């Protein structure tokens, strides 16, 4: 069962470029992970510093492994300095 994640983040004022750099690094490290079907990063049109990840994972287990990865934990440690708002939503495909 494919698990879809939509993760939205808004950079703190003045930290837009820093957050963008960290998120691009996350893409590079995450795409090779086992079970990563799709891991795309988007930035808001006319709204620099608002980012959305659109992710598809092969299973809950592979998503859990991603959640426990060293690079995601490292980002989590930096997030308080960079992220003003964050929302993570999980879905399952029904059609």
pLDDT in tens, 1-14: 899 999 999 999 99
Domain 3-92 belongs to what architecture?
Answer: 2-Layer Sandwich (3.30)
Residue ranges per structural domain of the chain: 3-92
- How crowded is the C-beta side of 79, counted as CA atoms within 13 Å? 15
Q: Helices (H), strands (E): how many in the chain?
A: 3, 4
Given a contact cutoff of 8 angstroms between Cβ atoms, the answer to whether 31 and 39 are in contact is yes
The radius of gyration of the chain's CA atoms, rounded to the nearest angstrom, is 13
In the prediction, which pLDDT does 73 show? 95
In the prediction, which pLDDT does 93 show? 87
Which residues in the chain come in under a pLDDT of 50? none
Which is nearest to 74 in space by CA: 9, 32, 30, 13? 30
């Amino acid at each position: 069962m494919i698990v879809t994640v939509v993760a939205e983040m808004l950079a703190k004022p003045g930290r837009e470029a820093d957050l963008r750099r960290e998120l691009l690094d996350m893409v590079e490290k995450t795409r090779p992970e086992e079970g990563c079907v799709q891991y795309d990063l988007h930035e808001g049109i006319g709204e620099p510093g608002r980012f959305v990840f659109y992710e598809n994972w092969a299973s809950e287990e592979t998503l859990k492994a991603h959640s426990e990865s060293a690079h995601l934990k490292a980002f989590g440690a930096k997030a308080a300095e960079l992220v003003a708002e964050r929302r993570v939503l999980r879905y399952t495909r029904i059609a």
